[in-house]
Amino acid sequence: MKRGRALRHAAAPWSRGHAPQVLLAVCAALRAQVPLDGVIVWGSASVSLQHISGESVPLPLERGAEVPAGSRNLDGLLVLRVLAGVEESTPARIARMAAQAQVSPGLSAL
């Protein structure tokens, strides 16, 4: 793997939805997308949550802060401890909620 690329490009066990207990993922490149939900164990950066929450103002995050998968590292270097595998990541939960909302009857149907 080339230096500066997000770890999401590697074939790894968490790609099947199982997050190991101790796993470090590096998200280093400018504008790199955070591959999995994690907690910052080293570094600090401005992170954009626009893809997740619609919030356009980047958040300055540092050690101990949680970073959801799908957010963008706008500057700096982050080393993350992964909190959840692919199936339990923030984008996967959002997709499941959207799918459930599409099949659920709306308030007007009541």
Largest Cα–Cα distance of the chain, in whole Å? 55
In the chain, the amino acid numbered 12 is A
Q: What is the pTM of this model?
A: 0.66
Q: What are the structural domains of the chain?
A: 7-109 (2.70.150.10)
Tokens of 72: 């963008």
Q: What is the pLDDT along the chain (110 residues), one digit of tens a residue?
A: 444 444 444 445 445 555 555 555 656 566 788 888 999 998 899 999 998 888 889 999 999 999 998 899 998 888 888 888 888 888 888 889 999 888 887 766 55
